[in-house]
Chain A
């Protein structure tokens, strides 16, 4: 158990809908990362937040957005869903910059999204 939690574990929805995925980082970790894992694209970085602020952006679609709240949990919002958005979505967390293991990301169990 990495200490990172994600809910829900599974999500089934229809095209055109909007969903929210939730992530709670390990206790004390300030940074949250979101990744998408699909069969054709592999593991792709989407977005990173550090202590509430967006720090880095990867291959995140405009239909997707995220935020990190004062209690450090993060939400990934996916809207106008398409069949191709079906994937596993992982979040990961790391400690405060400068602390030991600040370079090591610990992953949650993922949310499997199925768009029908």
Chain B
């Protein structure tokens, strides 16, 4: 079945540091890939998505590129802020209207 593997956290960074959160997936076919973010005490918010190979999703300074050859969708940001502290979930959907398979989430802690 489908699966998503994320690097374990917490990831602890100082403000303005570079962020990478690794995500790899296993799926049959050509899934859509997503990053969701969950701030403390809140629900999940869509951060970015990519629907086909080599697509780059971007939002709020975060980027991720759909790499079919390495089955990866790593999240990056050039300069993190304290307000980016949250849990980040990588997810896939194996067809347009199907359910999401989530990774276990990676907690990011950014200190001033």
Contact size range, B: 20 to 34
**Closest Cβ of chain A: how far from B81's Cβ, in Å?**
22
Contact A102 to B97, CB < 8 A, known contacts A42-B104, A43-B102 = yes
Digitize A23-62: 1 where CB-to-B-CB distance is under 8 Å, 0 elsewhere. 0000000010101000000110100101000011010000
Contact A33 B99 (CB under 8 A): yes
Chain A residue at minimal CB-CB distance from B97? A97
Contact B99 A2 (CB under 8 A): no
For the complex, count residues of A whose C-beta is within 8 A of B: 25
Which segment of B9-17, B38-46, B64-72 sits at the interface? B38-46
Chain A residue at minimal CB-CB distance from B89? A43
**Closest Cβ of chain B: how far from A5's Cβ, in Å?**
11
**Closest Cβ of chain B: how far from A67's Cβ, in Å?**
18
A-B pairs with CB below 8 Å: how many? 54
Contact A105 to B42, CB < 8 A, known contacts A42-B105, A43-B89 = no
Q: Which residues of A contact B98 (CB under 8 A)?
A: 56
Contact A104 B49 (CB under 8 A): yes
Contact A58 B99 (CB under 8 A): yes
Q: Which residues of B contact A109 (CB under 8 A)?
A: 42-43
**Most chain A beta carbons < 10 A, residue from B44, B49, B101:** B44
**Closest Cβ of chain A: how far from B50's Cβ, in Å?**
11
Q: Using a CB-CB cutoff of 8 Å, which residues 91-112 of chain B contact chain A?
A: 93, 95-105
Taking Cβ atoms with an 8 Å cutoff, the residues of A that contact B are: 2, 31, 33, 35, 42-43, 45, 48, 50, 55-56, 58, 90, 92, 94, 97, 102-110
